[in-house]
Structures are given as C-alpha cells and as structure tokens.
C-alpha cells in the first residue's frame, strides 16, 4: 500500500525507473546500517585468526560463559554431505518441506501463467492496453 503512495509521488516527476532506484535504495541503506550491529559468528573467529577478539566477543554473545587466557577456541566444521539434499532433512520435517516446495512451484506456475497469458485473456475480454492503462 505504501508503494502505491510512493509511486503516485515519484512516477509523475521522475518516471517509472525511479521506483526501482527507490525500491533498491531502502534495503541497501538498511543493510549498511545493520553491518556494525551484527557480530560475527563464533565459528568464524578461529578460522580467520581473530583469536584476540574471541574472548570479548564470546562474553558479548554468552555472558554466562567463563573465559580465561587458557580458553581454546576451535571451529567445529561439518564434513560435506553427499547425495540428494532432500535426504538430509530430518524425517519429521520432510513432508512439510515438500509441501512448501510444492506450494512455491504452484506459485511460480501461477506467475508464469499470468505473465504469459494475460494479454491473450485481456484481448478475449476486449480489454486493450489503451483502456486499461489510460495511455495517451
């Protein structure tokens, strides 16, 4: 709904391309503002030789942890799994994951139908672009 209000303000003065600039600028700015607030993961520090920062950051993440100079930080990396990715889902969530993927595929099919067949459907209903978009 907010996009409609922004569009009525931007399009007449700056053209339709301004919507893409405006729509892309907001997430970009939010991402830049989030960078200082997001700490690195605890697994990243030992891998990147950030050991001096590790005790301070571990305390920031988990204040209940007791760290000392003798605390050793080790990255726990999982080995790469082989086989079909669906087989790695827990058994209790496989049905739900398949339903979600099926729903996404149906949504994509609906989108393709609307974009590819919409002009044909509108012509059959005798609705033309000039009458719909109020083109000059």
**Mind listing the pLDDT tens digit for each residue in 86-112?**
677 777 777 888 888 889 999 998 888
Structural domain contains residue 69: yes
pLDDT digits (tens, 9 = 90+) for 7-21: 888 888 888 888 888
Structural domain contains residue 112: yes
Count of structural domains, the chain: 3
Mean pLDDT score, 49-64? 69
Could you tell me if 33 and 45 lie in one domain? no
Mean pLDDT score, 53-66? 72
Structural domain contains residue 24: yes
The better pLDDT of the pair 55, 95 is held by 95
Could you tell me if 63 and 25 lie in one domain? no
Structural domain contains residue 81: no
Could you tell me if 94 and 135 lie in one domain? yes
| Enclosing domain of residue 55 | 40-75
In this prediction, residue 99 carries a pLDDT of 87
Looking up tokens 């989030």 gives 34
In this structure, of 1-5, 21-25, 73-77, 113-117, the range with the lowest mean pLDDT score is 73-77
Could you tell me if 70 and 109 lie in one domain? no
Query: Are 43 and 75 a contacting pair, CB within 8 Å?
Result: yes
């Amino acid at each position: 709904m907010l996009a409609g209000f922004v569009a009525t303000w931007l399009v007449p003065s700056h053209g339709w391309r301004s919507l893409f600039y405006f729509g892309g600028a907001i997430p970009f700015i939010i991402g830049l503002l989030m960078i200082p607030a997001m700490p690195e993961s605890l697994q990243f520090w030992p891998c990147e030789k950030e050991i001096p920062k590790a005790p301070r950051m571990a305390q920031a993440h988990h204040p209940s942890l007791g760290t000392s100079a003798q605390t050793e930080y080790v990255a726990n990396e999982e080995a790469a799994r082989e086989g079909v990715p669906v087989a790695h889902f827990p058994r209790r969530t496989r049905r739900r994951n398949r339903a979600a993927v099926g729903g996404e595929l149906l949504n994509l099919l609906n989108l393709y139908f609307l974009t590819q067949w919409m002009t044909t459907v509108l012509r059959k209903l005798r609705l033309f672009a000039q009458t719909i978009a109020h083109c000059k």
